[in-house]
Amino acid sequence: MHVDAAIRSRKSVRRFQPWPVPRHTIEQLLELAARAPSGNNIQPWHVHVITGGKKQALCDAILRHAETGSATTAEYKYYPDDWFEPFKTRRREVGFGLYEALGIDRHDVAARRHQELRNYSFFDAPVGLLVSLDRRLNTGSYMDLGMFIQSFMLAARGKGLHTCPQAAFAWYHEIVREHVPLAPEHILVCGIALGHEDQGAAENALATPREPIRTFTSFHGFDTANET
């Protein structure tokens, strides 16, 4: 698959087929992702890959806590304390779009909560990854980690697989630590669901829009008269 096609076809899949992904395939994806750039080549990422009974035990434990509403607190801030435009509208639109695709009324709190909790089953993906970062590092390493995660997701597309990056796991890092040997000095940044897309699932038909480049780019020093 050409890299352009991988980028354009990558999306957050929220329902997977149960088909297994071989360990050697996951290792290939991680090897490719590790080519991501990082400041001074420090390669700050660490990944725990879980599947089978180990994954199920973790998912069950998180769901028991999540269903009672007793989430812990993430060790970093992902979203702003107060939403503002244009980000507030973009957030609302993707949420409403997902619920509409699933036929969930925006006022149906129970159905919305049920969909939210599906995060903690990795949306039925056979493989879950838990990505962490040493807390002693600084902001730049989060940029490095983002490039690693994107590289992994694009490599997965190259193998015909799909993913869903899931910051939701960060709110249950204390439970994750009971199931995988996450180092005390590491912050759990996110999970990633990996597997084969359920192409018949309504939620996977959601296509999130992207802003045209004119809204986020300024060009300087170009001679427009000589451009072709």
Q: Which of 68-77, 165-174, 194-203 has the lowest mean pLDDT?
A: 68-77
**What pTM did the predictor assign?**
0.93
Q: CATH no. for residue 149?
A: 3.40.109.10
Does 219 reside within a domain? no
Per-residue pLDDT band for 67 (boundaries 50, 70, 90) equals confident
State the pLDDT at residue 105: 85
Contact 83, 91 (CB under 8 A): yes
Per-residue pLDDT band for 226 (boundaries 50, 70, 90) equals low
pLDDT in tens, 83-98: 999 999 999 999 888 8
Does 209 reside within a domain? no
Q: How many domains does the chain have?
A: 1
User: Where do runs of H (alpha helix) occur along 3-122?
Assistant: 3-9, 23-33, 52-67, 87-102, 109-117
- C-alpha 110: how far from its chain's center? 24
Residue 205 and residue 199: Cα distance in Å, rounded? 8
State the pLDDT at residue 225: 63
For residue 160, the enclosing domain spans: 3-77+120-202
State the chain's mean pLDDT as an integer. Answer: 93
Does 45 reside within a domain? yes
Q: Is the pLDDT of residue 71 over 80?
A: no
Does 125 reside within a domain? yes
- Concatenate the DSSP letters of all residues of 166-182 into one string: EGGGGGGHHHHHHHS--
pLDDT in tens, 137-178: 999 999 999 999 999 999 999 999 999 999 999 999 999 999
Query: Computed from CA positions of residues 78, 196, 25, 184, in that sequence, does the dihedral angle turn out positive or negative?
Result: positive
Does 101 reside within a domain? no
**Residue range 118-134: mean pLDDT, rounded:** 96
Does 150 reside within a domain? yes
Does 47 reside within a domain? yes
Does 140 reside within a domain? yes
